[in-house]
Structure 1
Amino acid sequence: MREDKVTAKLLCSIISTGILTFCGIIIETAMNITFPTLMKEFSVSTATVQWMTTSYLLIVAIIVPLSSFLKRRFSKKTLFVAADLIFIIGVLCDLFAPNFTMLLLGRFIQGIGTGIAMPLMFNIILEEAPLDKIGTLMGVGSLLTAVGPALGPTYGGWISSVWSWRMIFVTLLPFLIAALFVGSWAIKKSETEKVRFDVCGEILLALTFVSLILGLNSLGKSGTIDLTSGSELVFGAAMLAAFVRHSKMKNAALVDLSVFKNGSFSCHVFAFFVMNVCSLSLAFVFPNYLQIALHHDAFYSSLMTLPAAILGAFCAPFSGRMFDRYGAKKPLVIGGLLDILGLLLLTVFAHGNLTAYQVMFFYCFYMFGMGLSFSTIMTDGLTLLDKRRQTDGNAVFNTFQQFSGAVGTALGSTLMAIAQKGSGSLAESTGLGTFWIFLVLTILMIAAEAILLPHVRGKEKA
Structure 2
Amino acid sequence: MANKQKYLLISTLLLGTFCMFLNQTLLTTAYPSLMKDFSISADYVQWLTTGFLLVTGVVIPLSGWLLHQVNTKKLYLASLIIFLTGTTLSFFAQTFLILLAGRLIQAVGVGISMPLFQTVLLSLFPKNERGSIMGLAGIVIGLAPAIGPSLSGFILMKYTWHALFLMLIPIIILVIIMALFFMEPVLPIKKTKLDILSIIESSFGLGLLLYGLSIVSTSHVNIWLVLLCLLVGSIFLGLFLYRQKKITSPFLSLQPLKQKNYQLSCYLVALSNMAMISFELVIPMYIQNVRHYSPLVSGLSLLPGALIFGIMSPISGKLFDKYGARNLCIGGMLLLTIFTFPFVFIQATTPMVFIIILYTFRLLGISMVMMPVTTFGMNALPDSELSDGSVINKTTKQVASSFGTAIMISVMTYVTSYSANTSGELKRLDGYRGSFLVATIFCVIALLLTLKVPKKCD
Q: TM-score, normalised by structure 2?
A: 0.95
| Whole-angstrom distance in 2 between the partners of 1:185 and 1:426 | 59
* 2:191 alignment counterpart: 194
* 2:74 alignment counterpart: 78
* 1:395 alignment counterpart: 391
Return 5+ residue gaps in structure 2 as ranges: none
Question: By how many angstroms is 1:351 displaced?
Answer: 6.4
* 2:443 alignment counterpart: 445
3-state SS of 2:368 partner: helix
* Cα deviations by residue, 1:293-319 (Å, 9 ceiling, x for unpaired): 122121111111111122112211111
> CA separation of 1:99/1:268 partners in 2, compared to 1, >3 Å: closer, same or farther?
same
Question: By how many angstroms is 1:391 displaced?
Answer: 1.5
* 1:258 alignment counterpart: 255
Alignment pair present for 1:215 and 2:212: yes
> CA separation of 1:426/1:19 partners in 2, compared to 1, >3 Å: closer, same or farther?
farther
* 1:232 alignment counterpart: 229
* 2:179 alignment counterpart: 183
Question: By how many angstroms is 1:218 displaced?
Answer: 2.8
* 1:456 alignment counterpart: 454
| Whole-angstrom distance in 1 between the partners of 2:346 and 2:404 | 19
| Whole-angstrom distance in 2 between the partners of 1:315 and 1:254 | 37
* 2:422 alignment counterpart: 424
| Whole-angstrom distance in 2 between the partners of 1:249 and 1:418 | 43
| Whole-angstrom distance in 2 between the partners of 1:280 and 1:212 | 18
Preserved contact between residue 252 and residue 388 of structure 2 (Cα < 8 Å):
yes
3-state SS of 2:451 partner: helix
* 1:435 alignment counterpart: 433
Preserved contact between residue 259 and residue 385 of structure 1 (Cα < 8 Å):
yes
* 2:332 alignment counterpart: 335
* 1:288 alignment counterpart: 285
Return 5+ residue gaps in structure 1 as ranges: none
Question: By how many angstroms is 1:213 displaced?
Answer: 1.8
Question: By how many angstroms is 1:103 displaced?
Answer: 0.5
Q: Which stretch of the first structure deviates more once superposed, 349-358 or 108-117?
A: 349-358
Preserved contact between residue 70 and residue 189 of structure 2 (Cα < 8 Å):
yes
Aligned partner (choices 142, 145, 163) of residue 146 of structure 1: 142
> CA separation of 1:391/1:406 partners in 2, compared to 1, >3 Å: closer, same or farther?
same
Preserved contact between residue 121 and residue 141 of structure 1 (Cα < 8 Å):
no
Question: By how many angstroms is 1:224 displaced?
Answer: 7.9
Question: By how many angstroms is 1:138 displaced?
Answer: 0.8
Q: Which stretch of the first structure deviates more once superposed, 371-380 or 12-21?
A: 12-21
* Cα deviations by residue, 1:260-319 (Å, 9 ceiling, x for unpaired): 222222121011001111111111111111111122121111111111122112211111
* 2:298 alignment counterpart: 301
> CA separation of 1:414/1:86 partners in 2, compared to 1, >3 Å: closer, same or farther?
same
3-state SS of 2:116 partner: helix
Q: Which stretch of the first structure deviates more once superposed, 212-221 or 175-184?
A: 212-221
* Cα deviations by residue, 1:27-47 (Å, 9 ceiling, x for unpaired): 221201111111111122211
* 1:62 alignment counterpart: 58
Preserved contact between residue 14 and residue 121 of structure 1 (Cα < 8 Å):
no
* 2:14 alignment counterpart: 18
Alignment pair present for 1:278 and 2:284: no
In structure 1, what residue type is equivalent to 2:430? L
Question: By how many angstroms is 1:353 displaced?
Answer: 4.8
| Whole-angstrom distance in 1 between the partners of 2:317 and 2:364 | 14
Question: By how many angstroms is 1:223 displaced?
Answer: 8.8
| Whole-angstrom distance in 1 between the partners of 2:425 and 2:259 | 47
- Kindly tell me the number of residue pairs found equivalent between the two proteins: 455
* Cα deviations by residue, 1:379-428 (Å, 9 ceiling, x for unpaired): 00011122222221111111112222212221221112112223533321
Runs of 4+ in 1 over 6 A off after TM superposition: none
| Whole-angstrom distance in 2 between the partners of 1:263 and 1:119 | 21
Preserved contact between residue 279 and residue 408 of structure 1 (Cα < 8 Å):
no
In structure 1, what residue type is equivalent to 2:303? L
> CA separation of 1:172/1:222 partners in 2, compared to 1, >3 Å: closer, same or farther?
closer
In structure 2, what residue type is equivalent to 1:182? M
Preserved contact between residue 217 and residue 406 of structure 2 (Cα < 8 Å):
yes
| Whole-angstrom distance in 2 between the partners of 1:447 and 1:225 | 30
* 1:314 alignment counterpart: 311
> CA separation of 1:320/1:436 partners in 2, compared to 1, >3 Å: closer, same or farther?
same
| Whole-angstrom distance in 2 between the partners of 1:226 and 1:63 | 27
In structure 1, what residue type is equivalent to 2:319? M
Q: Which stretch of the first structure deviates more once superposed, 15-24 or 115-124?
A: 15-24
Question: By how many angstroms is 1:60 displaced?
Answer: 0.9
> CA separation of 1:292/1:424 partners in 2, compared to 1, >3 Å: closer, same or farther?
farther
Preserved contact between residue 274 and residue 442 of structure 2 (Cα < 8 Å):
no
| Whole-angstrom distance in 2 between the partners of 1:51 and 1:12 | 36
3-state SS of 1:162 partner: coil
In structure 2, what residue type is equivalent to 1:258? Q
Preserved contact between residue 14 and residue 141 of structure 1 (Cα < 8 Å):
no
In structure 2, what residue type is equivalent to 1:375? M
Q: Which stretch of the first structure deviates more once superposed, 288-297 or 74-83?
A: 288-297
In structure 2, what residue type is equivalent to 1:333? I
Alignment pair present for 1:267 and 2:293: no
| Whole-angstrom distance in 1 between the partners of 2:260 and 2:422 | 47
* 2:401 alignment counterpart: 405
Alignment pair present for 1:170 and 2:170: no
* Cα deviations by residue, 1:336-363 (Å, 9 ceiling, x for unpaired): 111111112322x426853322210101
* 2:96 alignment counterpart: 100
